[in-house]
Structure 1
Amino acid sequence: MEIFINGKYLTQPVSGVQRYAFELTKGLIAKGSNVKILVPNFFDIKSTEINDRFFVSTGDFKNTNLWEQVHLPLFFRKRKSSLLINLCNTGPVLIKNQIVCLHDIAFFKNPQWYSRAFYLYYKFLIPLIVRNSKHIVTVSEFSKDEITGRFRFAANKISVIYNAPAKIFTIPADKLILKKDDFFLFVGSFDPRKNLITLLKAFESDKLKKFKLIVVGKRSASFRDQKLIIPDNVTILDNCNDEDLSVLYKHASGLINCSIYEGFGLPLVEAMSSGCPLVLSDIPVFREIAGDRASYFDPISSDSIVHAIKSLADKKPEDLNSDIQHNHTLSSRFSWADSSTELFSLTYKLLPQADRHLNHPI
């Protein structure tokens, strides 16, 4: 049996979802599994660090949704026993022998956050994919509970495979920078669920006038636009590469994540592995990831955000250092090597017995 990965994500701007797909793709390749990446003909296969020999260019659709829903089923028409892995929420409705990673169901929970076209497409597509797929993957126990509650299928049809920090954000324990600079950090898109409006309102407060905030992120067409008023003590970086972001994580007084809803929260584990303190929305998935060594707040209340930031700023150095070291150790629970192994094991179990030796790890 051949194993293919849906490479649609490689044509998209990089966010946490695309990073997840890219890291797991690299992990499966590193394990020596017999895997190929399907991409549209227009995609430049030399634009990634993955070797050309792992790509199959096929289909002339410029619209990647049409490529996924029309061309991929045609490609698999003579490959009915082949397995397709989809790592970024969507997959072809007409293919049943596939794994789909559904990161969360925020579009069902809060449709007002999304453009109408995006919401209607996902509302139609996702239930069909979930029903037709051989197995569902998601990124947290929280999302697993949400998805099984919504679609009501057997628990053994869904697996949790965590996100993880990239190597560039992971530093040895003896290299942690404990003396921090005088700025806080926000990392994420301007998606309404990230709740940036409330965070900016908090930084307008007289109580935070002496604090600086650096916002790393940009707008996305998938989400409803929102007018942001940027206070004088806030800087927006909309073109920050991983090298620069790694420096910001190491030196920031804290990462602030004020999301109302998340399936995971990749910046949390990036910050933890970089030695950056945490100031977080008190939502279930953040408790799952970060435990009790963060300053939590009510994301709806700018006053609560102000209080949490000031509480972190006023912590005794020895208590803050203890939190940094504890969370750095905790971040080792999340690794792309482990997540790749889990995905490989799942794929291996879904293969017919006769094909397993062809996909056995080196």
Structure 2
Amino acid sequence: MTTQKVYVNARFLTQKLTGVQRFAIEISIILHEMLGDAVIFLAPDETIEKANFPRTIPVLKIGRNKGHIWEQIDLPLYLRKQKKPLLINLCNAAPVLYANKLSTIHDIAFLKYPGTYSKSFLMLYRFMIPRIIASSEHTFTVSEFSKEEMMRYYAKELLGKDISVIYNAVDDEFKSVVDHDLQSTPYLVAVSSLNERKNLHAVLESFVNLGDEFNDTHLYIIGDLKSDSFKTLNFDRYKANPRIKFLGRVNDASLIRYYSNAKAFIYPSLYEGFGIPPLEAQKCGCPVIVSNVSSLPEVFQESALYCDPYSIASLKNAIEEILTNHDRRNILIEKGYKNVQRFSWPSSGEKVIEVLKKYL
């Protein structure tokens, strides 16, 4: 396509793997496949442990600092020595004082739900995000919903600039896997954190209020429930319930097993830029219950059972519906498989490259 070098801010390779980092990794893989040696990945001189980032992709370690200091000082200094090439940022952050860049902002949850973040996190993001958007040639985000939110809250910074939607997708490793041991106990599964907008309280409260006829059904909670970034929720009283299991973080192989053999996946989030976990569940043949707010209706259309995330009764009714109406459940499984096909990493990567071409 071009002999010009394109650089990728690969600081995400030193961070804990969440949906944001997974997006960055998958788009990076497509960029490398399609651009080859024309794309160069830059990272801090830290230990890089990402099992799902191919070792065949070279990563150039530069600078002396780490974290945000590396991103704001070392990275732009290095790029200026390379005659200010185009820099692609895929992970909610970018060097503010470097102009020749494309940046990705996944959502603005920190503005909509500030109470769920630490003061230091809020101060940093409130300072950085508008400046990143204003100083970028082009901004990516992950849904039409997030695009509209950003255009509303950052109209001044986006004036005269373009913003494109690049959807998330799900890895091919996510597929239905039968596990008879797991199937021996009917269960619901949820992926959550202590971030209040994930609405874990609603999941737990709706479950304990299910009718007596569902006493053989269990609830498995997957996710990191220890975080310095978010305010904690008091869920100790649920730990005493023998039908509720808090499994913590699990690897993808285990996650796939839990998705594949569950009666339903529950995701009553109050705010999502996209919502990857329900899409993963759908690819594993699990029907999903999601909230009817933010980006979720856009992403899941008619393939999910919707609930009002602010109503325990609404979520409880949705769970009971999916546990008792087998025809409805089977229809949701089939619609889920079709819905997942709307999203792919190659398609999203190609859209990034289409934009990239305009700035070379």
TM-score, normalised by the number of residues in structure 1: 0.89
CA offset digits 1:178-205 (Å, max 9, x no partner): x976111111332211010221122222
Instruction: Tell whether the 8 Å contact from 2:14 to 2:49 is kept in structure 1 after alignment.
Output: no
Kindly tell me the number of residue pairs found equivalent between the two proteins.
345
Amino acid at match of 1:104: D
The match for 2:251 among 241, 244, 259 is 241
Instruction: Confirm or deny that 1:227 pairs with 2:234.
Output: yes
Which of the pair has the greater relative contact order for Cα pairs under 8 Å at 6+ separation? 1
Instruction: Tell whether the 8 Å contact from 1:46 to 1:52 is kept in structure 2 after alignment.
Output: no
Give 1:297's aligned residue.
307
3-state SS of paired residue (2:249): coil
Query: 1:308: how far off?
Result: 0.9
CA offset digits 1:302-361 (Å, max 9, x no partner): 22211110011111x33322221122012100111111111122112221xxxxxxxxxx
Amino acid at match of 2:331: S
Give, in whole Å, the separation in 1 of the partners of 2:186 and 2:15.
34
3-state SS of paired residue (1:236): strand
Query: 1:83: how far off?
Result: 1.0
Give 1:168's aligned residue.
173
Give 1:359's aligned residue.
none
Give 1:322's aligned residue.
331
Deviates more, 1:246-255 or 1:120-129: 246-255
Give 1:93's aligned residue.
96
Instruction: Tell whether the 8 Å contact from 1:195 to 1:258 is kept in structure 2 after alignment.
Output: yes
Give 1:338's aligned residue.
347
Instruction: Tell whether the 8 Å contact from 1:45 to 1:52 is kept in structure 2 after alignment.
Output: no
Instruction: Tell whether the 8 Å contact from 1:45 to 1:55 is kept in structure 2 after alignment.
Output: no
3-state SS of paired residue (2:126): helix
Amino acid at match of 2:80: R
Change (3 A) 1:197 1:318: closer
Percent sequence identity is 35
Instruction: Tell whether the 8 Å contact from 1:214 to 1:237 is kept in structure 2 after alignment.
Output: yes
Give, in whole Å, the separation in 1 of the partners of 2:6 and 2:54.
16
Instruction: Confirm or deny that 1:58 pairs with 2:53.
Output: no
Give 1:213's aligned residue.
219
Instruction: Tell whether the 8 Å contact from 1:148 to 1:155 is kept in structure 2 after alignment.
Output: no
Give 2:200's aligned residue.
196
* Runs of 4+ off more than 3 Å: 44-49
Query: 1:16: how far off?
Result: 0.6
Instruction: Tell whether the 8 Å contact from 2:270 to 2:294 is kept in structure 1 after alignment.
Output: no
- Give RMSD over aligned pairs: 2.2
3-state SS of paired residue (1:214): strand
Deviates more, 1:203-212 or 1:126-135: 203-212
Change (3 A) 1:289 1:155: farther
Give, in whole Å, the separation in 2 of the partners of 1:155 and 1:327.
38
Instruction: Confirm or deny that 1:22 pairs with 2:34.
Output: no
Query: 1:154: how far off?
Result: 4.8
Change (3 A) 1:314 1:131: same
Instruction: Confirm or deny that 1:71 pairs with 2:81.
Output: no
3-state SS of paired residue (1:32): helix
Instruction: Tell whether the 8 Å contact from 2:272 to 2:294 is kept in structure 1 after alignment.
Output: no
Change (3 A) 1:210 1:291: same
Amino acid at match of 2:85: S
Change (3 A) 1:300 1:45: closer
Change (3 A) 1:100 1:342: same
Change (3 A) 1:53 1:184: closer
3-state SS of paired residue (1:189): coil
Change (3 A) 1:241 1:261: same
Within a 5 Å distance, the mapping from 1:278-297 to structure 2 comes to 278-297=288-307
Amino acid at match of 1:198: A
Give 2:13's aligned residue.
10
TM-score, normalised by the number of residues in structure 2: 0.90
Give, in whole Å, the separation in 2 of the partners of 1:228 and 1:306.
18
Instruction: Tell whether the 8 Å contact from 2:169 to 2:344 is kept in structure 1 after alignment.
Output: yes
